[in-house]
Structure 1
Amino acid sequence: MEELVIHYAWTIEAKGRKPIQKVTTVACLVDVLRILDLPGVAPTDWVAFECCASDHGKYTHNEGGDDEWSLKWTSVTLPGG
């Protein structure tokens, strides 16, 4: 039996950067967050937990501040998945 891998459509928005929009697994999202090295990024375990615990959501760091950034996600069903 094939293991079901959940994918998420997600968007990262940060001041001074173009929004990043992708459809990937949580593991790939965590990799992108590590690469971006955004200020105040939540530990990767938190990102994985939040995405898996809820099929959609939003996290905003320092709303209204100079280093504000946000992550929005929603689970998606891929063809054949």
Structure 2
Amino acid sequence: MLQKGRHYDPTDLFLHRGDTITLVNGDDSAIHHAFIEADRFAFDAGDQEPGKQATLTLKEPGDFIIQCGIHPKMKLTIHVH
């Protein structure tokens, strides 16, 4: 999962429960802050400097949105089955 140019790439992801994804800040100078707020669990990668990575293991089925706390228009929808 790439965070670059104030976008996630891709913007939709279909995964299986138990899959792990890695969020990579591919920008040269921008900091990102990926997080999920959901009823069943929460995830917060904290501030990610350029080149830094964060991992997330998806243990709950459902649809979740990863957002960026710094760039509110950045969104990635994850569909976990």
TM-score, normalising length from structure 2? 0.32
**Greater share of residues in strand:** 2
**Greater share of residues in helix:** 1
TM-score, normalising length from structure 1? 0.32
